[in-house]
Amino acid sequence: MSDRFHPIWMEQLTDWVFDELETRDSLFGVPRSAFYVPDPAARYRTDVYGVELDTPFGVAAGPQTQMAQNIIVSWLVGARFIELKTIQTLDELDVSKPCIDVEDEGYNVEWSQELKVYESFDEYLRAWVLIHALHHKFGWTGERPGMIFNMSVGYNLEGMLKPNVQWFFDTMNDASEYLDAYVDIVARRYPEVREIDIPSRLSDTITLSTMHGCPPDEIEKISLYLLQERGLHTSVKCNPTLLGADRVRGILNNDLGYRDIPVPDEAFGHDLRYEDAVPMFHNLRRVAAARDLTFGVKLSNTLEVDNWRDVFEGEEMMYLSGRALHALTTNLASRLAEEFRGDLLISFAGGADCFNVPDLIGSGMKTVTVCSDLLKTGGYLRLLQYTENLEAAMDKVGAAATDDFIVKSALDQPNIDEFPMSLRLAALGDSGLDLTADHCDSLHEVLTGGLEDRSATAVITDWATSAGFEGERAAVIVRLVVRTLARLNLRQMAAEVRSDWRYQKHSFRMDRSKTDRELHY
């Protein structure tokens, strides 16, 4: 048995898709009853980079986003922010096998794609065409699937300027040279695909993945290139070491009890430091805004740790993910949210699961992606419970939309009394609003006095108008209040996850093989 990927032909993949649908009413083993059917009225729909996503959930760059069939299955069960597997110019790597260990907390020694760059693009294009065809065939709402393909590229500027990566950028921007041939193949099984206007641009967004130890000036140079030369909405994937050695070890080894996980000093010595990251991010936000683009961060990358297990023989280091990473990533997200007063786009990936995603969405995370959770029992079907649990959480507080959910969730937090001061400080930033302390106290009193069945944003708008802030200024206040309350939610979450039993080392049981999750078969 080969340990290397050998992609099948598009004709074979297309026949596989339509044969299984016709004979088994399933796709890649997922029954039709478990397909996520988009709802245009879903309260959790979100807008990112000008694209309305059916859900705020997705799959992180990794094993679920390398092959076309994996991408399609992810989309079938509700993933709509799809971070494609990282590519780099060195595309003939020998990857250690095994390279992933997810017994409890996750570990990996993966690199980037296990395919050549042109093969990776080919997989992404196949998935792109087939997803559009399936969306049309199923008769789901919308002219196009409500999803984003997010590129992930590494690991230095020199590599990105190599011909194969330049070709990748060009073809992801305009795949028209290759698109029609795949449409023709799909049309043999589904002629109606010719009625669809499938965009030739697969992606205008990118996440920069850098090696552990990449210098700050290199990260900034790459980001400026992606923004200025490529015109891409850009996010930088940050390492959890950004929190600093004391906080990382304090949370991981002490609070959570993972005393057997050694985090080496060099992980902090060669990674981006917080004091270097903040001014860089401010500059990149300014550059992006001047070009009508968005700059954000991806939180977080894996954590470099010493290889103390016997799974990855011959490897000195391995990289931590999953539930052990969750508290670190949440605390890093909170620190950056406070630094930028909630006005920094954050895509979250770090131990996300169906139980914590409602809190993450309520804390202002625009998208939440997952990898380790889907490598456990139930696989891709675990993603279905993400939307179910988010719906239930929104029902609990009577939220009509995500902003409403953020506000109403915050009103139940023990730190809600911090709202007036937090809002006042946020307003002193670049909002252009003269919000006095009395204004903030007044709004706090209105919100905590009970919203009944009213939309929180409507209540805030009415208050703003009555206080003399009309039109666009009222809209600015709504955004400012939502961001501030999202920060309060995240602040509370960051404190609680450090002692939450779900993330404690001792809460994992070797005999636990079943959960109460329905697999929808």
pLDDT of 339 reads 97
Taking each helix axis from N to C end, the angle separating 402-410 and 472-496, rounded to the nearest 10 degrees, works out to 60
64-104: pLDDT as tens digits: 999 999 999 999 999 999 999 999 997 766 677 788 888 88
Q: Which of 327, 299, 485, 480 has its CA nearest to residue 399?
A: 485
- Given a contact cutoff of 8 angstroms between Cβ atoms, the answer to whether 154 and 86 are in contact is yes
317-321/106-108 β-pairing: antiparallel
- Given a contact cutoff of 8 angstroms between Cβ atoms, the answer to whether 383 and 74 are in contact is yes
Residue 511 has pLDDT above 50, yes or no: no
pLDDT of 47 reads 97
Average pLDDT over residues 27-49: 97
Token match 């008769």: residue?
139
Average pLDDT over residues 370-379: 94
pLDDT of 465 reads 96
Half-sphere exposure of 90 (CA within 13 A, CB side): 10
Q: What is the DSSP string of 225-262?
A: IIIIIS--EEEEEEPGGGG-HHHHHIIIIIIS--TT--
Any residues with CB less than 8 A from the CB of 309 and at least 6 apart, and which? 101, 107, 318
Give the span between the Cα atoms of 521 and 518, in whole angstroms: 8
Residue 210 has pLDDT above 90, yes or no: no
Q: Would you give the DSSP letter of residue 33?
A: G
Mean pLDDT of the chain: 94
Q: pTM for the complete prediction?
A: 0.95
Residue 513 has pLDDT above 80, yes or no: no
pLDDT of 486 reads 99
109-133: pLDDT as tens digits: 877 678 999 999 999 999 999 999 9
More confident residue, 510 or 368: 368
275-293: pLDDT as tens digits: 999 999 999 999 999 999 9
What token pair was written down for 408?
A: 């109403």
Q: What angle do CA 324, 326, 329 make, to 5 degrees?
A: 125
429-486: pLDDT as tens digits: 766 788 999 999 999 999 999 988 899 999 999 999 999 998 899 999 999 999 999 9
pLDDT of 449 reads 94
pLDDT of 4 reads 72
Query: Quick count: other Cβ atoms within 10 Å of Cβ 346?
Result: 26
Residue 361 has pLDDT above 80, yes or no: yes
Q: Where are the alpha helices (DSSP H) in 188-319?
A: 216-224, 245-249, 265-269, 274-290
- Given a contact cutoff of 8 angstroms between Cβ atoms, the answer to whether 10 and 17 are in contact is no
- Given a contact cutoff of 8 angstroms between Cβ atoms, the answer to whether 94 and 87 are in contact is no
Residue 26 has pLDDT above 90, yes or no: yes
pLDDT of 211 reads 76
Query: Quick count: other Cβ atoms within 10 Å of Cβ 6?
Result: 7
pLDDT of 425 reads 92
pLDDT of 180 reads 98
- Given a contact cutoff of 8 angstroms between Cβ atoms, the answer to whether 113 and 86 are in contact is yes
Q: Which of 83, 123, 300 has its CA nearest to residue 207?
A: 83
Average pLDDT over residues 357-361: 99
pLDDT bin (cut points 50, 70, 90) of residue 519 is low
136-159: pLDDT as tens digits: 999 999 889 999 999 999 889 999
Give the span between the Cα atoms of 388 and 360, in whole angstroms: 15
Residue 78's region, left for phi above 0, alpha for psi from -120 to 50, else beta, is left
Q: Which of 367, 442, 361, 455 has its CA nearest to residue 408?
A: 455
pLDDT of 102 reads 87
Phi, psi at residue 270, to the nearest 5°? -105, 0
241-269: pLDDT as tens digits: 999 999 999 999 999 999 999 999 999 98
Q: Please list, residue by residue across 172-201, b when 16 or more beta carbons sit within 10 angstroms of its beta carbon and e when fewer do.
A: bbebeeebeebeebbbebbeebeebebebe
Share of the chain above pLDDT 70, in %: 95
Residue 34 has pLDDT above 80, yes or no: yes
